[in-house]
Amino acid sequence: MRRLLKVIWVALRYRLDALVPLNNPALPRALVWLLRLSPARLIPEGETPAANRLPRALEALGPVFIKFGQLLSTRRDLLPTDLADALAELQDGVPPFDSAQAVRLIEAALEMPIDSAFARFERAPVASASVAQVHAATLPDGEEVVVKVVRPGIRDTILADLQLLARLAGFAQRTFRGARRLHLPQIVDDYRRTILAELDMLKEADNTQRLRNDFAESELLYVPRVHWPLCRSNVLVLERISGVPIREVAQLKAAGTDMRVLAQRGVETFFTQVFVHNFFHADMHPGNIFVDVSDPASPSYIAVDCAIIGSLTEEDQDYLARNLLAFFNHDYSEVVRLHLESGWVPKDTDPREFERVIREVCEPIFAKPLGEISFGQFLVQLFQTAGAFEMEIQPQLVLLQKTLLYIEGLGRQLYPQLDLWETAKPFMETWMAQRVGPAAAIRALAEQAPRILAQLPRLPSLIANTGQQLRNLEHGLDKQTLEISALKQQVERQSRISRRKRAAGAALIVIASLLLWGPVSQSLQAPESLGPLAGLISALVGSLLLARA
């Protein structure tokens, strides 16, 4: 409750209600009147524009809200320019905490003075984010590194926010029918695991190392080296990289960077992580991405902050890939079939009606020039339409969807003509060709050949024992059937005994009432002798309590 009150107070203090356009006809009338009559309107807005007040409000509320602002900041095709510019400050411009405290935390974690661990340590942080801040340093051997240290006391703030989000999600799930398909409690639970993992620097070190190994031979992405001896649960030491921050578009262009290649490689990097490695960087906001422009015609990405990592099951990978290709090919009947087969929509959904609605949503979008199609807007509109068919949000895909929105938002900042569809489709077709068809079957057979050959000598005995194994299975099933039947009979017997006991108890209460009627009547006429009445009441109450027990 205290955290909820703080959220309300911050919203009132920064007059965030002014961000809502009351003249928007899409807003519910009840919400419009609620905002018009809100006591917040009595608080003066001041001279600071509402767009600039939002980042300050999110900073005041802590990391959970800051990360929400970071996601919004990449969606310049969905937000007004002034609001997107203001939110961009959250990418690495969060106010730092005291450097002396950072030094004390690092020394306590490493169990040595800061001057013993590093030849040089810069007290002023080079970056400050919602969960941690980063200091530049030099190792005794002269190598340049960065030291990331978790903010003190941040875990308690995050836990309080998560508890509030869980309560709000549970309330929405119980109260609003439309919210049930969103699986909000499960989404919040998934986010809880994700953001708490972000507090563990050893986990981030492991993620960084794995991502670095995945792209060790690739020109798409570079990941800094981990200095394991100096890593602790709240301290991470990495190789210091040099590159142009991806949000510095003017600087990238001044260096002669091929922006089209850079944007397309961003999409290719994302799909490689998701469908080839099944291990993707899920916090790719501009503050975490740099560009190596040493070869401007062939720029590559540098990724930092690998705390939030996502992965999918093989089934989710397969269904997602097939859905994307079906959309790319305008094959709406295949989209419907996949949604029904995967259980993303109820089994009793009318497939023809579902296909008609999806077609009505998609065709006007595909009629536009490819460069004008926003995948983010497409996802929003498609989900709103599918909501009429009780299509459910898949919690395991939420992290992926968020990352895909990040990628498209970044790509459109770099190269506004980015065609996500044209870039992704050949990649997906190649991936599916490798997973499905004769070549895929031959490759799978080759991969399993050693195991198959190892089992071949046992094949005759396995075939010979099959009959006995089937008989054993049948005997086990018969035994299970008998046990279930006996259990059912026992339950029915206990039920009959309970009914008889209840009937006997009711009969005893009636008899007791008849026998005590006379004494009770006398007690009522003589108030000084209420013992029988009290006894009757006690007996009745006790009987009721016994019956309930």
User: How does DSSP assign 78-95, residue by residue?
Assistant: TS-HHHHHHHGGGGTBPP
Question: Which is catalytic among the residues 161, 283, 305, 419?
Answer: 283
| Residue of 281, 273, 269 whose CA lies nearest to 194 | 281
Looking up tokens 């905002």 gives 35
Q: Which residues pair with 145 in a beta bridge?
A: 137, 239
| 133/63 Cα distance (integer angstroms) | 12
**Taking a C-beta distance cutoff of 8 angstroms, is the pair 434, 440 a contact?**
yes
Say whether 22 sits in a helix, a strand or coil: coil
Looking up tokens 């990449």 gives 74
* Tokens (6 digits) for 274: 């998701």
| Residue of 309, 261, 259 whose CA lies nearest to 284 | 309
Q: Which residues pair with 302 in a beta bridge?
A: 222, 290
Positive or negative CA dihedral for 369, 370, 376, 382? Answer: positive
Is 283 annotated as catalytic?
Answer: yes
Q: How far is CA 470 from CA 135, 476, 479, in A?
A: 66, 10, 14
| Residues comprising the chain, all counted | 549
Q: Which residues pair with 310 in a beta bridge?
A: 280
Enzyme catalytic residues: 283
